């Protein structure tokens, strides 16, 4: 497959574009494992972000009812057309995924497909965070499950537990909406061209309800970002730094105490339930 893809790209005079994060995944075993990790059935609709030359798209089309693949680089059209020609359940949408409406993309699925909506992608590294945020916050249009290949370091952040170096606001956002699992580590040699770092596939199972109940999600995430914003400050000082315009330091200290959280702790030691308690206590004092 490595030789075939390289030959195809050469034949169509295509060079992998670094600025678009084009590292094509060529290891057949890993492609199959990624598709299998999505637990597809023939009634599912899969949204693929960045099909590239179609290596993963083909694996998805064999296992799902429909594949909607969004690719930004039109130069790949001849290779993609050649590789996908035997499938009639794939639609390629040309454009930047970040500018697409998820609702409209899901609507492209044929009527009658009553399985689950899933996302599978070997993501270009430069848009990992915005893509994740878009999927996580797409109220009403979230997938049921997503399998996403990201840099190993990012994967470790998504599954990180409180008190670890990798734990940050993206961990909390991800764990609030999903149950994330690291399912597979992938070495640079599986790609062409080879990236400098290892990658990992993350499976996100979207929750029916967020992990904790909060009244105002926007404020909850503001508190989370404030807590992580200044890793060397204590929680009290971090929160005061970001929320100080709206609240006196003594009020923040009161909210921490009411939430049962020592104000000398660092933000990165709080678990998601503690963030919810803290947000509720702060909200109460803002009334
Ligand atoms: N899926 C292929 C594979 O596994 O070999 C290609 C993966 S490659 C890491 C990322 C792909 O995403 C490239 O084809 C790139 O052109 C495409 N891409 C980059 N930015 C994009 C964007 N904003 N929207 C849609 N596709 C994008």
Integer Cα distance of 7 and 206 in angstroms: 39
Q: Residue 179 carries which DSSP code?
A: E
Question: Going by CA atoms, what residue is nearest to atom 12 of ligand 1?
Answer: 50
Atom of ligand 1 nearest to the CA of 125: 9
Mean per-residue pLDDT pooled into runs of 10, the chain (287 residues): 73 86 94 97 98 97 98 96 96 98 97 95 95 96 98 98 96 98 97 95 98 95 93 90 89 96 92 97 91
DSSP string, 28-74: HHHHHHHHHHTT--TT-EEEEE--TTSHHHHHHHHHSSEEEEEES-G
Give pLDDT, residue 279.
97
Q: Could you tell me the two tokens for 202?
A: 């993350």
191 CA closest ligand 1 atom index: 5
Hey, how many other C-beta atoms are within 10 angstroms of the C-beta on 13? 8
Q: How far is the CA of 106 from the centre of ligand 1 (A)?
A: 19
Instruction: Name the residue with the closest Cα to ligand 1, atom 6.
Output: 52
Catalogue all structural domains in the chain, each as residue range(s) with its CATH number.
Answer: 2-206 (3.40.50.150), 217-286 (1.10.8.100)
Query: Ligand 1, closest atom to CA 98?
Result: 23
Q: How far is the CA of 171 from the centre of ligand 1 (A)?
A: 24
State the pLDDT at residue 1: 58
Q: Which residue has the tokens 């923040």?
A: 252
User: What is the predicted pLDDT for the residue at 15?
Assistant: 86
β-bridge partners, 145: 118, 205
Residue of the CA atom closest to atom 19 of ligand 1: 20
Provide residues with CB under 6 Å of ligand 1. 20-25, 49-52, 55-56, 70-73, 96-98, 122, 124, 127
> Quick check: 188 and 195 in contact, CB under 8 A?
yes
Distance CA 135, CA 119 (A): 9
Sheet with 145-151, strands from edge to edge, namely 90-94, 66-71, 45-49, 117-122, 145-151, 199-206, 178-186
Q: At what angle do helices 217-229 and 235-243 cross, to 10 degrees?
A: 120
């Amino acid at each position: 497959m490595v030789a075939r893809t390289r030959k195809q790209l050469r034949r169509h005079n295509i060079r992998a574009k670094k600025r678009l994060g084009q590292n094509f995944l060529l290891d057949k075993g890993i492609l199959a494992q990624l598709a299998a990790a999505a637990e597809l059935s023939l009634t599912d609709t899969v949204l693929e972000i960045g099909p590239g030359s179609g290596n993963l798209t083909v694996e998805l089309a064999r296992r799902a009812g429909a594949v909607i693949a969004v690719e930004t680089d039109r130069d790949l059209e001849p290779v993609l057309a050649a590789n996908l020609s035997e499938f009639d359940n794939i639609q390629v949408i040309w454009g930047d995924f970040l500018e697409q409406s998820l609702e409209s993309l899901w609507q492209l699925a044929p009527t009658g497909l009553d399985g689950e909506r899933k996302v599978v992608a070997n993501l270009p590294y430069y848009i990992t965070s915005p893509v994740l945020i878009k999927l996580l916050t797409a109220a009403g249009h979230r997938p049921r499950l997503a399998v996403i290949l990201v840099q190993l370091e990012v994967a470790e952040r998504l599954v990180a537990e409180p008190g670890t170096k990798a734990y940050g606001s993206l961990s909390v956002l991800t764990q609030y909406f999903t149950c994330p699992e690291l399912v597979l580590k992938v070495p640079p040699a599986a790609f062409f061209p080879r990236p400098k770092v290892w990658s990992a596939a993350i499976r996100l199972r979207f929750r029916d309800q967020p992990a904790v109940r909060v009244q105002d999600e926007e404020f909850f995430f503001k508190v989370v970002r404030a807590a992580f914003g200044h890793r060397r400050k204590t929680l009290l000082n971090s929160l005061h730094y970001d929320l100080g315009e709206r609240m006196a330091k003594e009020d923040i200290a009161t909210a921490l105490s009411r939430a049962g959280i020592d104000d000398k702790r660092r933000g990165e030691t709080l678990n998601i339930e503690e963030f919810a308690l803290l947000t509720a206590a702060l909200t109460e004092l803002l009334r």
